């Protein structure tokens, strides 16, 4: 936990009760310096009640004293043992209300282009439930006819690094299980950067397999035919004598 809870209310309290600089308050609360100045001018956080960080065990009084004496001193958040591991989220991620309507499109995209991902992985990526994923997989969702697949990264439901990590994990699991994957599946199972950097491999359609043998056989037959067609030049001059020549001799 690097920033205090109720950061803006904490900034209001520090502006009203200390002589700290705007930059010191902004750095401690994770705000912009101009935003803190707006709080001091009464243009920002109007009506927000100040939140005492000392009383709420987030800041030591000695930290404020040091910062007031040294304008370059940065306030340090008080260590709270109870908050250790709080950022490690379990279960599906929280999705804002404004983006929840985009989740079916993201699920359909993941199901279509990354079928190797499990329901648990998809649930963790876009913050949905397994029954919803299952209904989209089986195309029994009530609005399936109107859902178009959209990249969840483009929708802001997940990060590209998180998607790549999930895909690589699925690839490692398949490799461990000894599942044979096609070229298309291998291309899907690598990260986006690796996939874009791959060279396009020329592929020979299976329908023309064996043409090499056919062409060689055809050439051999042509050679044999040409050999049979060769005529000895001397044989052209050893023609049988005609009856006319015999009569003349007589």
Residue (of 128, 114, 122, 120) closest to 171 by Cα position: 114
Residue (of 185, 182, 189, 187) closest to 200 by Cα position: 187
CB atoms under 10 Å from CB of 25, counted, come to 26
Whose tokens are 């190797």? That residue is 116
Whose tokens are 């939140």? That residue is 51
Residue (of 99, 28, 1) closest to 11 by Cα position: 28
Q: How far apart are CA 20 and CA 64, in angstroms?
A: 8
List the chain pLDDT tens, one digit each, 250 residues.
477 888 889 999 999 999 999 999 999 998 898 989 999 888 887 788 888 998 888 888 999 999 999 989 998 888 765 555 544 555 556 666 667 788 999 999 999 999 889 999 998 898 888 999 999 999 999 999 999 999 998 888 888 888 888 988 888 887 777 655 555 555 555 545 554 555 544 444 444 445 444 444 445 555 555 555 555 555 555 555 555 455 555 4
Enumerate residues 6+ apart whose C-beta is below 8 A from 107: 122, 126, 128, 132, 133, 136
pLDDT (0 to 100) of residue 237: 56
Which sign does the torsion angle of CA 46, 52, 57, 61 carry?
positive
């Amino acid at each position: 936990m690097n920033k205090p809870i109720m950061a803006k209310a904490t900034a209001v309290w520090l502006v009203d009760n200390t002589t700290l600089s705007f930059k010191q308050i902004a750095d401690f609360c994770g705000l912009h310096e101009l935003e803190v100045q707006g709080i001091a001018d009464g243009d920002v956080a109007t009506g927000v009640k100040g939140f005492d960080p000392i009383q709420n065990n987030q800041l030591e009084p000695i930290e404020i004293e040091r910062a007031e004496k040294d304008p370059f001193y940065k306030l340090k958040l008080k260590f709270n043992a109870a908050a250790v591991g709080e950022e490690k989220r379990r279960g599906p991620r929280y999705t804002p209300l404004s983006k929840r309507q985009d989740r079916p499109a993201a699920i359909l995209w993941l199901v279509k282009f990354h079928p190797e991902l499990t329901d648990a992985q998809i649930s963790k990526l876009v913050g949905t439930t397994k029954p919803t994923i299952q209904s989209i997989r089986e195309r029994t969702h009530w609005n399936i006819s109107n859902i178009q697949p959209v990249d969840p990264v483009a929708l802001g439901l997940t990060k590209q690094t998180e998607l790549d990590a999930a895909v690589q994990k699925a690839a490692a699991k398949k490799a461990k299980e000894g599942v044979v994957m096609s070229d298309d599946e291998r291309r899907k199972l690598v990260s986006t950067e690796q996939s874009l950097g791959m060279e396009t491999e020329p592929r020979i359609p299976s329908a023309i397999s064996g043409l090499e043998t056919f062409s060689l056989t055809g050439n051999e037959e042509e050679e044999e035919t040409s050999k049979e067609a060769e005529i000895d030049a001397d044989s052209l001059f050893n023609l049988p004598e005609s009856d006319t020549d015999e009569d003349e001799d007589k």
